[in-house]
Structure 1
Amino acid sequence: MPGMKWKIMLGLPWGRLRLRSLYWFLLVLTTTIVVLLIHRFDKSDVANDKKQETKPGETMQQPREEPTTIQDRRHLIKTMCGKYKSNMSKTISRHHVNHIYVEDKYKILYCQVPKVACSNWKRILLVLSGHASDIEKITHKATYKDLPLKTLNTFDRAGIMERLANYTKFMFVRDPLERLVSAYRDKLENHNAYYHTLFGRFIISKYRPNASKLALEYGDGVTFLEFVQYLLDMPSSVSKDIHWEAANRLCNPCHIDYDFVGKFENMSEESEALLRLAGVPPYLKLPNLKDRNPSDKKTTLSVTQKYMAQLDSLKRQQLYDLYKLDYLMFNYSKPFPDLY
């Protein structure tokens, strides 16, 4: 009978071997399936854990690595400081930090360089410090008149040094002569009663023969050549206004080791990198607001060249020499081939 035949086969030695092999096969198969299931659930748990680390509306914290470009800039600054300012005192005093704004909540120190989007950077600080909520509604006047932000020189020495050691320190720079032309257009070429009274009247009286009574009274219409001659004849005048003071003298990078030195020419990308480095919420972006004379064409390299073409080669060289350290320290190319 078939059933009897099967029982007899199982009783044979080779039948026992087949049964034993089947047993081990099933054991190995079952073990493999269990291991695969465990591995699958482990991966699922890890994925779920990662999802739980990030709350809605937030981005995961990535390792903060400085771009090579920023590291290279910091190295170049140190090299230029060693070459041109090796004999200076290394002691940090209040005047070294009087252009640095403080934001304590996010631990940020910002050194303002006028004509390098400084009003928009102060808008960022006003929002971060809780003094404003809508960055687009902050007026230009609010960024300089009765500004509620503190500067670093208002703290005692311990407060200054503690913040310098632990806060994210940054500044942004711009081609020096392009920045100078931008300042001239804003403060002297266009209407600006304060600057026309403070600088315009003196410049016209000194450098314009047969100036009209109206020009002498109001200081309107200072030409670029007159402005440049004023700067060349009185080099100390460069330090009398922050809008045409050299960036290295405003922010003192030979005394202060800035974590981030950005460039106006790459403002969109580098402002974003700086804000992420400082841990600022991702929704906050640097605005692109042009406050004064919004109908004017922005001061670009081509616009700058038109103004510089009004100067002879000697004056261009002398003007470059006033800002030479900025050119070297922040790695800007010479604007004219005949400069040395």
Structure 2
Amino acid sequence: MGTSRMFRIFVVLGSAFMILLIIIYWDDVGASNLYLHIPVSPGPKVPHPPPQLRPHTTRTPSFLSDIDAFVNQFLEPGTGEPTDTMQVDLSNQSEKSEERYIPRREWKIHLTPVAAELRERQEKRRRLLQEVCANDSVVFPGKNRSFDDIPNKELDHLIVDDRHGIIYCYVPKVACSNWKRIMIVLSESLQQEGAPQRDPLAIPRDLVHNSSMHFTFNKFWKRYGKFAKHLMKVKLKKYTKFLFVRDPFVRLISAYRNKFEMRNEDFYRRFAQVMLRRYANQPTPPASVDKAFTLGVHPSFSHFIQYLLDPQTEKDMPFNEHWRQVYGLCHPCQIQYDFVGHLETVEEDAEHLLRLLRVDNVVEFPTSQRNLTASTWETNWFSKVPVEARRELYKLYEPDFRLFGYDRPESILNE
């Protein structure tokens, strides 16, 4: 009896020891390393038989599903809820779908290396970020805090794709709609008749910006509880991280055009009415955006700049994401980005990035036919903004200019 009991004890202790070794190995070496080294886009295959005749196959577990299974064993009740990504109630989306091969339009094989010019461009942009972050003369809120000190709510712009090992920090008004479409396609978070949606442009705009379609760092706490911050650091170390930026002043013009020159009830009530009351001598602005547009009432670009410079604005609430500085959205001094794209070179950068990620045979970046805000318009847009206000605005966004290599707009600041 005693021998049997000792045997069981040894078995339990041996199992616990093996689990501990696996955990240590997983954390140090990284299961995601093994996952990321699996070819993202396998070569052509023989098509599967029709679904009703297809034999049952076992799906290869991903890093995310494995870590989920392990971590959820230790979560307290209620902390291991599934991410919202799988809870969208759509007729063309299923909660679970088998990973299946989708025939590609073409099989791309790159026999020539990426152009040296593009590699040097990325090296220069990454090096500039490091230099500015190390430069004590460049000061901005949150610059010197650690990653652990970043509030969870400020991590909601970091979208994670565990399938391909990608983290994208989206910046509104910098082609983020199309990059979100790319992330939906790659993460296969949207199903079309039981199969992953492969056409970015077929994804409706309301779904593109639906937070339930994206797994962000902010959702790690709901899924992983006290393990969340540790897993963020693991993924930041092992995944490819990228963002796209544009000239800060041009981004502000684009935000104004989109949110205040077009009918947007939400932005009218939350921001336009405030601007009209404070700066346009309209104590009782129209109650709705439709009525305001009918009367020809809306805040001017100059009013918008006044709003940004008003100390009361950020006392009331943080800047909206459409005009918040990129350093406040993507934390470039705490996160070492592997790729920094510019909207001004988006076609070249997008092709380079997708090739770098080895997904250029899976998805292509959609080309935009819309009229984009051009940098050459800056002088006209700022013509009615007082020069002193322009200089104050530059101080407010100077860290973004310097972090991402945009020249100081002398023609606007010295008129």
Answer whether TM exceeds 0.5 for this pair. Answer: yes
Asked if 1:109 is matched to 2:180, the reply is no
Q: Secondary structure at the match of 1:120?
A: helix
Question: What is the letter of the counterpart of residue 270 of structure 1?
Answer: D
Question: What is the letter of the counterpart of residue 251 of structure 1?
Answer: C
Candidates 219, 231, 241, aligned match of 1:154: 219
How much does 1:213 deviate? Answer: 4.5
Q: Does the 8 A contact of 1:201 with 1:217 survive in 2?
A: no
Asked if 1:278 is matched to 2:357, the reply is yes
Which stretch shifts more, 85-94 or 114-123?
Answer: 85-94
Asked if 1:123 is matched to 2:181, the reply is yes
Residue matched to 2:80: none
Q: Does the 8 A contact of 2:207 with 2:213 survive in 1?
A: no
Residue matched to 1:320: 394
How much does 1:251 deviate? Answer: 0.4
Write the distance in 2 (CA, Å) between the matches of 1:111 and 1:105: 17
Asked if 1:140 is matched to 2:192, the reply is no
Write the distance in 2 (CA, Å) between the matches of 1:238 and 1:285: 38
Q: Does the 8 A contact of 1:90 with 1:255 survive in 2?
A: yes
Provide, for residues 101-153 of structure 1, a one-character-per-residue CA deviation record: whole Å limited to 9, x for no partner.
Answer: 01111111000010000000000011111222221211211111254211023
Aligned residues: 282
**TM-score normalised according to structure 1 size:** 0.76
Which stretch shifts more, 85-94 or 252-261?
Answer: 85-94
Question: What is the letter of the counterpart of residue 232 of structure 1?
Answer: L
Percentage of matched positions with identical amino acids:
32
How much does 1:339 deviate? Answer: 3.5
Q: Does the 8 A contact of 1:54 with 1:60 survive in 2?
A: no
Residue matched to 1:42: none
Candidates 312, 323, 327, aligned match of 1:244: 323
Q: Secondary structure at the match of 1:256?
A: coil
Residue matched to 2:127: 75
Task: For 1:50-89, list aligned pairs within 5 A.
Answer: 57-60=107-110, 67-83=119-135, 84=138, 88-89=144-145
Over 3 Å counting, the alpha-carbon distance change for 1:238 and 1:262 in structure 2 is: farther
Task: For 1:225-244, list aligned pairs within 5 A.
Answer: 225-234=302-311, 236=314, 239-244=318-323
Looking at secondary structure, tell me which structure has more helix per residue. Answer: 1
Asked if 1:215 is matched to 2:267, the reply is no
Q: Secondary structure at the match of 2:384?
A: coil
Residue matched to 2:341: 262
Q: Secondary structure at the match of 2:275?
A: helix
Task: List, as ranges, runs of 4+ consecutive aligned residues in structure 1 with deviation greater than 4 Å.
Answer: 53-56, 60-66, 216-220
How much does 1:96 deviate? Answer: 5.1
Which stretch shifts more, 144-153 or 61-70?
Answer: 61-70
Q: Does the 8 A contact of 2:159 with 2:167 survive in 1?
A: yes
Question: What is the letter of the counterpart of residue 194 of structure 1?
Answer: D
Residue matched to 1:335: 409
Q: Does the 8 A contact of 1:109 with 1:167 survive in 2?
A: yes
Question: What is the letter of the counterpart of residue 310 of structure 2?
Answer: D
Q: Secondary structure at the match of 1:159?
A: helix
Write the distance in 1 (CA, Å) between the matches of 2:348 and 2:164: 20
Task: For 1:177-216, list aligned pairs within 5 A.
Answer: 177-209=249-281, 211=282, 213-215=284-286
Write the distance in 1 (CA, Å) between the matches of 2:139 and 2:112: 37
> Of the two, which has the highest radius of gyration?
1
Question: What is the letter of the counterpart of residue 158 of structure 2?
Answer: I
How much does 1:228 deviate? Answer: 0.7
Q: Does the 8 A contact of 1:102 with 1:110 survive in 2?
A: yes
Candidates 382, 390, 401, aligned match of 1:308: 382
Over 3 Å counting, the alpha-carbon distance change for 1:208 and 1:216 in structure 2 is: farther
Q: Does the 8 A contact of 1:96 with 1:255 survive in 2?
A: no
Over 3 Å counting, the alpha-carbon distance change for 1:321 and 1:109 in structure 2 is: same
How much does 1:279 deviate? Answer: 1.4
Gaps of 5+ in 1: 1-52
Residue matched to 1:163: 235
Q: Secondary structure at the match of 1:239?
A: coil
